[in-house]
Amino acid sequence: MTAPAPIRHYLQFSDFTADEYAYLLERAALIKRKFKAYEKHHTLTDRTLALIFEKASTRTRVSFEAGMYQLGGSVVHLTSGDSQLGRSEPVEDTARVISRMVDAVMIRTFEQERLQRFAAHSRVPVINGLTNEYHPCQILADIFTYTEHRGSICGKTVAWIGDGNNMANTWAQAAALLGFELRVSTPRGYEVDTALAALDGGGKGWQNFADPRQACAGADLVTTDVWTSMGYEAENEARRKAVANWRVDESLMRMAKPDALFMHCLPAHRGEEVTAEVIDGPQSVVWDEAENRMHVQKALLEYLLLGRQ
């Protein structure tokens, strides 16, 4: 008898290799083509995905829920407010119970450590749907989107402007793994955490720039995110003051290559981290980014449950 394959989780971007990402990007392209042609792609018939949200969501919920149904499966949706998680049931017990009834679990929560505790007690693959530290599904969608528009991201330059948050940490991991340069410009006090951003603690693949204009100079892609992430609302006023000069506007975009793309994971605040002219302008691919969440996550779910197809 052969031993069962060990469970794979997707808790941070560095959980997969560059070769696995190459496969996932190719598979997501196929899945997207079939979706656009109204062709059935029922590779997860009768499988169930649990979606646990301890923070708000629009894109993550709809993309996983619609995606799972399109794969022939179904979903169960829970929040802290309507489950025993909100009444202090230990996350370990929740993991033991839920993972006996479903085939995979996606969680959006606060500390990465909470997600890791869930995964350590789960019998099925666990996916990070955003934590304070990381947002790997979004970066997977962003890299897929870049590839669709401009080809491989390897060797390209990405400028991150604004808060050194979960998105920035995940971009930094991706840069080291997939061989592109990440230039980060954040205000003092909101820097990317080197330990979180590195694959091996070395911080390879990304560089800090005090001046956002320098970070954007010659970039192939300029990207930003909200100044105040979910869970940090108490810091909102201080953050607005600190980050005010890190707004992506047309003058900053002019520093980048003429064909540079603009990305934002959304939700966006026009007039804060990005101007309406940029996010609604010709270089912006934010709607493709949002749609592509669904296609890449379908590839991810298939891969975690079935392996390479």
| Residues near ligand CP (CB under 6 A) | 57-60, 130, 138, 265-266
Contact 106, 283 (CB under 8 A): no
> What contacts 219, CB < 8 A, 6 or more positions away?
157, 158, 159, 183, 255, 256, 257, 260
Smallest gap from residue 266 Cβ to ligand CP (A): 5
Look up 135 and say whether it is catalytic.
yes
170 binds ligand NVA (CB under 6 A): no
Look up 295 and say whether it is catalytic.
no
Tell me which amino acid residue 246 is. Answer: W
| Three-state SS at 191 | coil
Look up 225 and say whether it is catalytic.
yes
Of 94 and 166, which CB lies nearer to ligand CP in the complex structure?
Answer: 166
CA angle 187, 248, 180 (to 5 degrees): 80
Binding string, residues 262-281; x marks residues near ligand NVA by CB under 6 A: ---x----------------
Look up 259 and say whether it is catalytic.
no
Instruction: Tell me how far CA of residue 268 lies from CA of 19, 128, 167, 239, 288, in angstroms.
Output: 32, 21, 14, 16, 15
Of 76 and 244, which CB lies nearer to ligand CP in the complex structure?
Answer: 76
Q: Which does 278 bind (CB under 5 to 8 A by kind): ligand NVA, ligand CP, none?
A: none
Of 255 and 295, which CB lies nearer to ligand CP in the complex structure?
Answer: 295
| Three-state SS at 247 | coil
- Phi/psi of residue 301, nearest 5 degrees: -60, -45
Of 273 and 302, which CB lies nearer to ligand NVA in the complex structure?
Answer: 273
The residues of the shown chain that bind ligand NVA, judged by CB under 6 A, are: 130, 165-167, 225-226, 229-230, 265
Give catalytic residue positions: 108, 135, 138, 225, 265, 293
